[in-house]
A and B are shown apart, each in its own frame.
Chain A
């Protein structure tokens, strides 16, 4: 598996885990108010962390896809993406 596919798979896995860990039963272990994180209840901060880190994952995915496109001459920025 090449690098691009690896990053794609990792991003997909991240968001699947995200879904599992913010819904039942994955969220149950994180579902407590203490300790407060930056003043926020622990469970709310945990969800915010998934969201914030999600942005980072998408950013890394985007870098990887960009590099991949740049490395394939003839594919311009309007190409239809990969799936």
Chain B
């Protein structure tokens, strides 16, 4: 038996365990739409923690992280910087979102927004922007899975087949079990990823250089430019401070605003769990340190992989580790890809049904669930189709996706914290901000570099978005105070029988208006 047979065998075992956990989880959840989308709102701390972490740490962190450290040096530090910044505001936003979800039955981000700012156009726009951002992100995860499988099986299982196998399994358990499967498989995969990253991150520098400090000492002597922020661009030129700083800003805001994170907040058992998840999140973030160490370990090697994203499998195979370790590594990287991919597939389908179709056409619970399952497949196939395309512009698309996602920040903050915001203001701001981001993305893509100071188009979008939102809101008629009270002071939940600020009237207004 050849070496790669054993590795492939290990991966199959790993995938079988993941599938088993995913399918078993579904048997505990109820058959309602709330059960499918929001897991009956009963995730505990352990599951929430890993769902959040594993969802955010994707193939980008596990393969792209080392790839960046390897090829762009200190530029990769931006990835370490933004996570904690992005999650901290969730300490207040998360519980507030969850409280509104429980009160009005929201299961998606757009429902929350449209609840405060009734507009079917807004709902459809949010759905379209979310899905536009999800597809390239899912594609990236699929390619990640394919890359790992192709690399460790010595090319015997090509990228296309590897991605198809991994995502066939993801589709199976997401179709069968909905968010419950995503929760339990992510818990399993999250633990796996952390263990693998730390052991490899310490092992490789010791094996290749005799220690972490020794490794950086040598990099400093031979390639000092790698250890100075803002590092290098993909082409190997020095990166700009504007690009580095705005990447942190856009990623932090984008992370906070991903629609699937909002859906996670709606699945939390209680606010205590949500808050603790936020408190523990930076500990997950520190797992990027060993990931970077893996990438830096490759910097001084005489030969290099064809693509920087292959650095992790490249090093693993070079170091002639035991088959078991290679198999485990592969599974760790696969779980990074799959644990993000499953949540995204599920979220993309849910958002399309709930926000894209729901406001325009009433569907029965059963019909909604059926439509979501079809959409999981459709989105999966579309993303897979892009994954087969070797065109590197996907990374560019992903950056643009972040530019769009961070445009959700001003409307969400306004919905939760600013009484004077109005529906026309929100719609105008979102349209103007997204259009600006798309404009700078497109012109950059066509070779015209119009962005001032190399700022990310998402930041430029926000610079237009916020003044438009504020200006138009102030120029239009304020919302009814009873209505805004329900969102700005959601403590008066019917379950506890309190009326912390919302009047009975406000509770009747919002559920009616959320469907536009």
Contact = CB atoms under 8 A, between A and B. Distances in A.
B496 A18 contact: no
Interface string B62-100: 000000000000100100110111001101111110011
Given A31-B228, A51-B282, A55-B283, A39 B211 contact: yes
Contact of B95 (A11, A51, A58, A80): A80
B213 A51 contact: no
B279 A62 contact: yes
B212 A39 contact: yes
Interface string B216-239: 110010001001111000000000
B244 interface: yes
B102 interface: yes
A75 B101 CA distance: 18
Contacts of A40: 212, 216, 289
B216 A39 contact: yes
A50 to B, nearest CB: 7
Nearest to A62: B279
14 contacts: A11-B88, A18-B84, A19-B248, A24-B245, A33-B227, A33-B228, A39-B211, A39-B213, A43-B74, A43-B229, A55-B84, A58-B281, A59-B279, A78-B270
Given A22-B248, A52-B282, A55-B282, A78 B212 contact: no
A30 B443 CA distance: 35
B242 interface: yes
Nearest to A31: B229
A51 B77 CA distance: 12
A77 interface: yes
Given A33-B227, A80-B96, A44 B496 contact: no
Given A58-B91, A80-B99, A81-B92, 12 more contacts: A22-B81, A33-B227, A34-B220, A41-B220, A48-B286, A50-B84, A51-B285, A79-B500, A81-B91, A81-B96, A81-B99, A82-B92
A23 B279 contact: no
Interface in B273-328: 275-276, 278-283, 285-286, 289, 292
Across chains A and B, which 6 residue pairs bring their CB atoms closest together, nearest first? A39-B212, A80-B99, A81-B95, A39-B213, A23-B245, A24-B241
Contacts of B230: 24
Interface stretch (B334-342, B430-438, B487-495): B487-495
Interface of A: 11, 15, 18-19, 22-25, 27, 31-34, 36, 38-41, 43-44, 47-48, 50-52, 54-55, 58-59, 61-62, 65, 74-83
A75 B272 CA distance: 13
Contacts of B213: 36, 39
B244 A23 contact: yes
A19 to B, nearest CB: 6
A25 B95 CA distance: 34
B498 interface: yes
Contact of A79 (B74, B89, B99): B99
B211 A15 contact: no
A51 B491 contact: no
B507 interface: no
Contacts of B495: 78
Interface of B: 74, 77, 80-81, 83-85, 88-89, 91-96, 99-100, 102, 211-213, 215-217, 220, 224, 227-230, 241-242, 244-245, 248-249, 252, 270-272, 275-276, 278-283, 285-286, 289, 292, 416-417, 489-491, 493, 495-496, 498, 500
Interface of B is mostly: helix
Contact of A81 (B245, B271, B285): B271
Contacts of B285: 51
Nearest to B492: A80
Nearest to A53: B282
Given A55-B279, A75-B491, A83-B92, A44 B77 contact: yes
A78 B242 contact: no
Contact of B224 (A25, A33, A81): A33
A77 B228 contact: no
A24 B216 contact: no
A32 B229 CA distance: 8
Contacts of B85: 15, 18-19, 22, 54
A18 to B, nearest CB: 6
A44 B244 contact: no
Contacts of B248: 19, 22-23
Contacts of A36: 213, 216-217
Identify which of B211, B224, B282 gathers the most chain A CB atoms within 10 Å of its CB.
B282
Contacts of A61: 91, 279
A54 B88 contact: yes
Identify which of A23, A65, A82 gathers the most chain B CB atoms within 10 Å of its CB.
A23
B271 A77 contact: yes
Contacts of A82: 92
Contacts of A74: 498
B496 A78 contact: yes
A48 B289 contact: yes
A54 B84 contact: yes
A51 to B, nearest CB: 5
A6 to B, nearest CB: 16
Identify which of A22, A61, A81, A83 gathers the most chain B CB atoms within 10 Å of its CB.
A81
A37 to B, nearest CB: 9
